[in-house]
Amino acid sequence: VGIRVNPDVTATTHPYTQTGGKGMKFGVPLDEAVAVARGIRDTPGLVLAGVGMHIGSQIGSPDPYAAGAAKLATLVGEIRAAGIDTLAGIDVGGGLGIAYTSAEQALDPFAFARALVPLHQRTGLPLLIEPGRFFVGNAGVLLTRVLYRKTSGGRTILVADAAMSDLLRPSLYRAHHPVWAPGHAPGTPEEVVDLVGPVCESGDFLALDRTLPRVEPGAVLAVGGAGAYGFTMSSQYNSRPRAAEVLTDGGRWAVTRTRETVDDLMRGETADPVWR
């Protein structure tokens, strides 16, 4: 087994995706880790194979990784000093940030590596990484059709058929996802819009204050950066069947998950409960 420690490192990212700080729910506190390691050693059938951390998600700087790595290196020394020599690797977690906008910069993988190499040098152990978003975040696009336009209080609102139930990140983290209007005629005048879904709360939006070419009901919009924490965080909230997933490869495409139906919403429900 491995011990995920809480290295008491807080990365600059949305508070909801910080996971490495003291008082957060994740990991074994650093000052308890050696005692936990001893407990593992003394438990028949268990071998302490590694220690690890995961300090958060969408992290743009290598610095918190370096800070966490220094603490893990010290911990490995303490575990070895306690006579435990079974460590086979160190898991440094994921969280490598990607660029959702052209103004943002993804975490430089070389800077990430440079932050972690000293951990390998100090311990001699192989390092494991768990990047999720970095691989797939910008590989996914959510396509949505504009249902209608309205104005309210001077704002132009596009109501689309996708909602917070399809892409939760804007509602949950106020995350910025790029929106494109593919296929609009060149020279179409631009306007500032809020792109919202049809779900019953004001927190249901995909993009606010966004400059887009004017689009009419029926137009398809593309919301970028939806490949990570997109479908996987989607839900059937508001009795909305979940979207289809389509894989593309050059000019080829294939449905890899069929669109849900109303029957899917009811699956598993019964009108005839067995009381116990």
Ligand X SMILES: Cc1ncc(COP(=O)(O)O)c(C=O)c1O
Angle at alpha carbon of residue 205, lines to 203 and 206, rounded to 5°: 145
Give the nearer residue to ligand X in terms of CB position, either 48 or 59.
59
With CB under 6 A as the contact rule, the residue among 33, 65, 133, 146 that binds ligand X is 133
* Region from 80-88, 90-98, 101-109, 237-245 binding ligand X, contact rule CB under 6 A: 90-98
Q: Which residue number, 20 or 197, has a Cβ lying nearer to ligand X?
A: 20
Block residue for tokens 């995961």: 54
By the rule CB under 6 A, 112 interacts with ligand X? no
Q: Catalytic one among 103, 185, 200, 254?
A: 200
- Tokens found for residue 271: 């009108």
Q: Which residue's CB is nearer to ligand X, number 14 or number 214? A: 14
For the CB of residue 38, give the shortest distance to ligand X in the complex, in Å. Answer: 24
Judged by CB under 6 A, the stretch of 41-49, 89-97, 211-219, 239-247 that binds ligand X is 89-97
Residue 228 in the binding site for ligand X (CB under 6 A): yes
Q: Does 54 bind ligand X (CB under 6 A)?
A: yes
Question: Catalytic: 200?
Answer: yes
Confirm or reject binding of residue 89 to ligand X (CB under 6 A).
Answer: no
Q: Are 145 and 219 in contact (CB under 8 A)?
A: yes
268 vs 266: CA distance, rounded Å: 6
Q: Which is nearer to ligand X, 100 or 134 (CB)?
A: 134
Contact range with ligand X by CB under 6 A, out of 110-118, 131-139, 175-183, 268-276: 131-139
Task: Examine residue 95 and tell whether it contacts ligand X (CB under 6 A).
Answer: yes
- Could you give the residue numbers annotated as active site? 200
In the complex, the residues that contact ligand X under the rule CB under 6 A are: 54, 57, 93-96, 130-134, 228
